Amino acid sequence: MKFFVDTADIDAIRELSETGLLDGVTTNPSLIAKSGRDFIDVVTEICGVVEGPVSAEVTALDAPTMIEEGRKLAAIAENIAVKVPLTWDGLKACKALTDEGHMVNVTLCFSANQALLAAKAGATFISPFIGRLDDMHLDGMELIQDIRTIYDNYPEFGTEILAASIRNPNHVKDAALAGADVATVPPAVLKSLVAHPLTDKGLEQFLADWAKTGQKIL
Ligand code: E4P
């Protein structure tokens, strides 16, 4: 499973990138607004830090303008994945941009049929939003499972399932169990994946016992 971080916070991206475990970044207009920075500047900077796909979202609603915006974003760096919304115009833009050789992430996916359409349109990534479905008392993880089954039924689809709107560590585990190819995770949740009180307790005990031996490795 690949790990993307879902943020436009360059400091958080740098820190996570240093672990060597970061495979990409996703942004959206809300995350760009939260960063308080110029969209093109921040995305350019992110592409300089992370080698993997960096999603940058179009904001037009009609296909021709989405395509134009997508081309501008794709020109920033080779690792840009143009993000388009799951609408008919978004699907048309997806098809046109993938035909031109650009990576496309189709976002705001809330149903298996939408994911089927995105795969037909040649999307590089489909982004089902788990947390926002859970917020409505629906089962976000069931959507990941359904998309996995459908995509596996049609091996000609090359679209990767990018589990998005992840809110907690259980979402990451369950997305991995369901066979998502990628999870895009907020920095705090990504960092929390390593934590377990028994790890801390066990390490403390090992170090206390080691100190009693008076030995050193180096
Ligand atoms: C994914 O690409 C989206 O940016 C993100 O996961 C949305 O998450 P949210 O529902 O927590 O805003």
- State the closest ligand 1 atom to the C-alpha of 27, by its place in the atom list counted from 1: 4
- Is this prediction's pTM over 0.85? yes
**Which residue's CA is the nearest one to ligand 1's atom 7?**
165
Arithmetic mean of pLDDT, 6-15: 98
pLDDT of residue 158: 96
- State the closest ligand 1 atom to the C-alpha of 167, by its place in the atom list counted from 1: 11
The letter for the amino acid at 2 is K
Please state the φ and ψ torsions of residue 108, each to the nearest 5 degrees: 60, 50
Which residues are known catalytic residues?
Answer: 83
> Which string of b and e fits 180-191 if b means at least 16 CB within 10 Å?
bbbbbbbbebbe
**Which residue's CA is the nearest one to ligand 1's atom 10?**
165
Residues whose beta carbon lies within 6 Å of some atom of ligand 1: 6, 26, 28, 107, 127, 129, 131-132, 164-165, 184
Cα-to-centroid distance, 201 and ligand 1 (Å): 34
Q: Which residue has the tokens 């990941």?
A: 144
Q: What is the pLDDT of residues 145-194, one digit of tens each?
A: 999 999 999 999 999 999 999 999 999 999 999 999 999 999 999 999 99
What is the spatial distance between Cα 53 and Cα 24, in angstroms, rounded to a whole number? 5
**Which residue's CA is the nearest one to ligand 1's atom 9?**
165
Q: What is the pLDDT of residues 66-93, one digit of tens each?
A: 999 999 999 999 999 999 999 999 999 9
pLDDT of residue 166: 98
| 3-class secondary-structure state, position 46 | helix
**Which residue's CA is the nearest one to ligand 1's atom 1?**
164
